[in-house]
Structure 1
Amino acid sequence: MGGFGIGTGEFAIMGLMPGVALDLGVTEPQVGHLISAYALGVVVGAPILAIGGARLYRRHLLILLMSFYALGNIASALAPGYGSLLVFRFIAGLPHGAYFGVAALVAASLVPFNKRAKVVSLVMMGLTLALLIGNPLATILGQHLDWRYAFGFVGAIAALTGLMIVLFLPLNRQEERQSPFSEIRAFNRPEIWYPLAIGSIGFAGMFCVFSYMAPTLLEVTGVNPFWIPIALAVFGLGGFIGNILGGWLFDRLQFRSVGWMLLWSISMLLLYPYATENIWTMLVMCFLVALMVGLGPALQTHLMDVAHGAQTLAAASHHAAFNVANALGPWLGGMAISAGVGWQSTGYVGATTAAAGLAIFLLAWRQQSGAERVDNDVAFSQDH
C-alpha cells in the first residue's frame, strides 16, 4: 500500500503534464522540473532521514515517514501556483527513499537468504502497481476533474498506509539498531558507491522516455488524449512484470543480472524512436522499455549484500540514486526537446545514459572479481 501511494505520487505528474502546464501557465519542460524537484527531495531526504532515524524502531520510523508523505501530497494538491508547487513536490519527495529502504529491510529480515530478492520485489510491487493502476487512475482524475485531485488521492492512500502499519506491523524490541555515525563510517566503500552510480545514471533512460510519454503520444503519435492512460497502464504492466523478473533473475545470476538488464535497456531505448509514430508499436515499446524496472530489486538486494554495517543508509540511498535518475532523465530529455531535436529523441538520450550505466557496471564487476580473487588467495594460504 505504501509503495502504491508513493509510486502514484511520484509518477502522476507525468500523465498530467499537459493539464498542469495549461492550468499553471507554464511549458511542459517546466512541468518536467516538478518531476526533478520531487526527485531532488528523495535524494536529499533519503540519507538524512535514514541517518536521523537510525536509532528508532523501524515500525515507528515507517509511521513517521508515511505521515510526512501524506502531508506533502495534500500540500501539493492545495498549492496556489507553480512556485509553491515546486517547493511542495520537493518536500513530498523527502520521505520516499527512507520509507522504501526501511520497508525492504523489514521484509528481507523475515525470509531465508536465497529468497531476499524475491521478497524485495514484492515490496517494490506497490511501485509497479502504481504504474499499472495508480498512474492511469490519477491521469483520468486529472483529465475529468482536476490534476489536484490526483495528489489528494495520494495523500489519502498515504494516511491509510500509516494506519495499516499501526494496526498490522508488530514492534520488534529485539531489533538491532545502529548508531548514525557507525552507518556513515561503514557507508564509504566503493562496493556501495558502484551500484548507487549504476542506479543514478543507468536507470535515467527509462525516466527520460516515461516523463515525456504523454506529449510524445499527442505530438508525434498524434492520438486522442484518451490513449494516454492506456499507454501508461501498458507501461505499468511492463514495470510490474519487470520487477518480478528482476528479483527472479538476481536470485539466479546475482550481480551479473544487472549487466544483462542494462544491455536490454540500451537495445530497447535505441528502438523506441522508431516506434513513436504508430500507436500499436508505441504500446509494445512502452511495455518493453518498462521492463527496465527489474534493475530496482536487483540493485537493492546487491546493496543489502555489500552494505555491512550501513544497511539502513544504503537501502534508503538506493532510492535516492534512482531519483537522481528521475531528475537526470527528464532534465536531459527536456534539453534535447528544447534544442529542437524532437520528442522521440528521448530514446537516444536514454540509451546513452544506459550505456554509461553499463560502463559503471563493468568497473564494479572488475572490482568485485578482484576482491573475490584476493579472498580466495587468503583462504588458500590459510589452508596450506
Structure 2
Amino acid sequence: MSTTGTRGSSGTLSDGQAIWLVAEREIGSKLRSKAFVISTAILFLGALALVIWAGFQASNSTGTPVAVTSDASQYVAGVEGLDVTDVSDRAEAEALVMSGEVDAAVVADSSSPLGFAVVAESDAPTQLLLQLSQLPPVELLAPAEVDAALGYVAAIGFGIVFLFAASMFGGTIAQSVVEEKQTRVVELLISAISVRALLAGKVIGNTILAMGQILILAAIAIVGLTVTDQTALLQGLGGPIAWFAVFFLFGFVLLASLFAAAASMVSRMEDIGSTTTPLTMLVMAPYFLVIFFNDNPLVLGIMSYVPFSAPVGMPMRIFLGQAQWWEPLVSLAILMATCVAAILVGARIYENSLLRMGARVKLSEALAG
C-alpha cells in the first residue's frame, strides 16, 4: 500500500505526516526543557550586550578629558583624541584634576625640555602620554576597510553563534537517538513510520529551532545597532548576517544528519562520545580558527570553501570586504553538494544501525548494511 497522501484506510501515516509529527515532537520537547530556555535566554542577552558594546565602542568619539592652560595650548594643538577644557592657570587646572572632572592637565613648565608638563592625581593616563608623544607621520598604502576591533567582535559573534547552536542541537539529536534506542522506543516508532522519516523529522525539527535562534539573533543585532545609532555599521553587517543565516541552514542540516547517524551506532549514553567526538571537533574548529585568524586572508579564504567552516568563514570575509561577488555562490554550491552527500550517507548509517543493540557498530558495517 502506498503511504503518500493522507491517511489510508488502515490509518497508516504518509511520509510527510510522519516527518512533521516527529519534528513537532522534537520542537515540543525542546521548548519544554528549562535548560534549553535558560541557555537560549542567556545567549540572547549576551548577544545583545555584545552588539550594544560594539556599537558604543564604534560611536565613542570622546577623547581623553584634559585641562589645558592658555600658555600650554600650543602643545596640544592638532593632537587628536583629546577632550580639552581651557583654563586660565595651573591652579584651576589642578582643581579640575582633583575634582575628577578631567583625567589630567597640560600646563606650561619652563623647567621641562618640552616646555610643558602633565599634571595628574595619582598616575598619568598612559593614553594621554602616547597621544602627546612625538611620532613620525604614517602613510597607509592599503588601509583596512573595517576597524580591527569591530572585525574581532564580528569574528567572535559568528564563531560563538555557530559553535553554540551546532553543538547544542547536534548533541540533543545524538542524545535523543541513543535514548530511543536504549529504551526501545525506537522499535515502536519505526513500526508506525519509516526509519528515514524518523531521521528527517529529527533533523527538520531541530533545524527549525536552530534557525529560529539565528533569526532572533539577527533581529537583536539590528535592534542593538539601531539603538546605538550605528547605521553605517548596520549596513555593513546586514549582508554578512543574511549570508550567515543561509550558510548556517545548510551547514546545520549537514551536521545534524551526521550527529544522528553517529549516535545510531551506539546503544548507551556513555558511548556517545566515541562516535560524535570527531563531529564535535569539526564544530569547534571554525570557532577557534576565526578567533585566532580573523585578520588572516589566507586562512579565512580556505575556511570559506571548506563545508564545515564555510558558515563562519564566508560571512566573515564578506564583512571584511575580502570576498568577490561570485565567491559566496561557489562556496554555497560546495556546501549544498556536501550537505546532500552527508544526508545520503547519514541516512544509510542511521538505517543500518538504528535497530542494532549491544556493542558499537563499526562504520564499515553501518555503511555496508
TM-score past 0.5 threshold = no
Bigger fraction of residues in helix: 1
- Give the TM-score of the pair, scaled to structure 2: 0.36
Of the two structures, which has the highest relative contact order with CA contacts closer than 8 Å and spacing of 6 or more?
Answer: 1
- Give the TM-score of the pair, scaled to structure 1: 0.35
Structure of larger gyration radius: 2
Bigger fraction of residues in strand: 2
